């Protein structure tokens, strides 16, 4: 990258670019692994910390609006929404709104932040070139790795 010239912003998905790979070959990243700060403790006393969250769809954000719990208390939207987009948590068979509502507040705050980062902020990438060899690659300009605080 030359001094004084801003990097070219790229709206490409999170993918490792190989030399010679075109943007069309890059895969869209739709799932994000995380580790909860405290962990969800199930009824058997097992603590579940590692999980996966997928990108939300428009349907995920619309369906909670029809949920009676959300209509009574708008703050419940987060619980229903996280229950829809968390695809795995430890060895649990499924993650439901009941699981989310029994999580520690710090874990829910962590998941809300992760949800916001992957669904609204997207990724800040720049296409850059090595000044020595002219090799082109993508540089992630975001302020940290997803799932870490």
Per-residue pLDDT tens for 52-74? Answer: 999 999 999 999 999 999 999 99
Decide if 106 is inside a domain. yes
% of the chain beyond a pLDDT of 90: 55
pLDDT of residue 130: 84
Decide if 40 is inside a domain. yes
Residue 95 backbone phi and psi in degrees, to 5:
-110, 120
Decide if 18 is inside a domain. no
Mean pLDDT of 67-93: 94
Decide if 56 is inside a domain. yes
pLDDT of residue 76: 92
**CA-CA-CA-CA torsion for 9, 28, 23, 134, nearest 10 degrees?**
60
Domain count, the chain: 1
CA atoms lying within 13 Å on the CB side of residue 141: 14
- Residue 65: domain span: 29-122
Task: Please determine, for residue 122, whether its predicted confidence score (pLDDT) is greater than 60.
Answer: no
| Total-model pTM | 0.65
Give the span between the Cα atoms of 70 and 32, in whole angstroms.
26
pLDDT of residue 14: 42
Decide if 103 is inside a domain. yes
Decide if 60 is inside a domain. yes
Decide if 72 is inside a domain. yes
Each residue of 26-36: pLDDT tens digit?
678 899 999 99
Task: Please determine, for residue 13, whether its predicted confidence score (pLDDT) is greater than 70.
Answer: no
């Amino acid at each position: 990258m030359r001094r004084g010239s801003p990097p070219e912003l790229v709206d490409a998905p999170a993918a490792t670019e190989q030399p010679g790979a075109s943007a069309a070959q890059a895969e869209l990243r739709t799932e994000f692994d995380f580790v909860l700060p405290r962990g969800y403790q199930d009824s058997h006393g097992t603590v579940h910390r590692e999980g996966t969250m997928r990108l939300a769809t428009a349907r995920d954000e619309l369906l909670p609006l029809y949920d009676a719990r959300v209509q009574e208390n708008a703050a419940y939207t987060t619980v229903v929404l996280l229950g829809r987009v968390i695809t795995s948590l430890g060895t649990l068979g499924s993650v439901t709104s009941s699981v989310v509502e029994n999580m520690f507040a710090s874990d829910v705050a962590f998941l809300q932040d992760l949800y916001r980062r992957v669904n609204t902020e997207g990724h800040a990438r720049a296409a850059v070139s090595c000044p020595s060899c002219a090799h082109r690659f993508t540089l992630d300009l975001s302020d940290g790795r997803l799932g870490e605080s």
